[in-house]
Amino acid sequence: MRGRAAAGQAVIAWLGEYDVTDRLEAVLFDMDGLLVDTEPLWFETETEVMARLGAPWSKADQERLLGGSMRHTVGYLLAKATRPATPAEVARWMMEGMLRRAAAGRVVIRPGARELLTEVAVAGIPHALVTGSQREFTEAVVASTGLTFTVTVTGDDVTRPKPDPEPYLLAAKLLDAVPENCVALEDSPNGVTAATAAGCQVIAVPSLIPIPEARGRLVVPSLSVISLATLRALSARSSKPSP
């Protein structure tokens, strides 16, 4: 804990001094690749499904789908397929594969995730899970990890998934929070684009693809260096008028 606190203070120092006025209304968390290390499970499942479709699968293919929706994933797989299948069949194969892996206890929580969620919850700050995964798999992950959220927004709850801002705008609305006073944590470029477009301040923890720093965005190597104080600092810093 001491190492995490020291790392968090270093990040706050990088952010600079900030107004003590608390503007943080809510914290919004992505799931796959950020809170839980499910990207290897997605790769295995995609590879398995593509074998049924008669085509190879690569890490480059997975990177093209990072942070995307099931509909986009299914369309991409079918575009590479050499054997016939319906979108519904491919979606079912994907879900069955992921649920099987989750039931086998293979969902691993990423470093710092549980600690940060606990700190946010103890402080009484509303927090949401905002994921492109379908609700059935999301609920399996939540059940297997014991992670809890005030609100959960899944890919089944929106008509326009990430990189559209709709998932984050919906989460903020459900939490009765102003998006500009929310901090979103993401691991993918699609997710960062969605949160930024919604008006949130963003902390990026890149998983498979590098994410550059930008105004209103903090890029860190791990959730282990993030604390509630970091979230407050980013929110307060972003609310200052430009010089």
Q: Long-range contact list for 202-205, CB < 8 A, 24+ apart?
A: 203/230, 203/231, 203/234, 205/34
Sequence-separated (6 or more) residues with CB below 8 Å from residue 6 = none
Instruction: Determine whether 164 is an active site residue.
Output: no
Pairing type for strands 127-130 and 151-153 reads parallel
The size of the chain, in residues, is 243
- Rounded to whole angstroms, the Cα distance separating 18 from 20 reads 6
104 class by beta-carbon count within 10 Å (0-12 exposed, 13-18 middle, 19+ buried): exposed
Among residues 19, 30, 176, 187, the one annotated as catalytic is 30
E strands in the chain:
26-29, 127-130, 151-153, 182-186, 201-204, 217-219
CB 178 within 8 A of CB 25: yes
Encoding tokens for residue 142? 């939540």
β-sheet with 182-186: strand ranges across: 151-153, 127-130, 26-29, 182-186, 201-204, 217-219
Positions marked active-site: 30
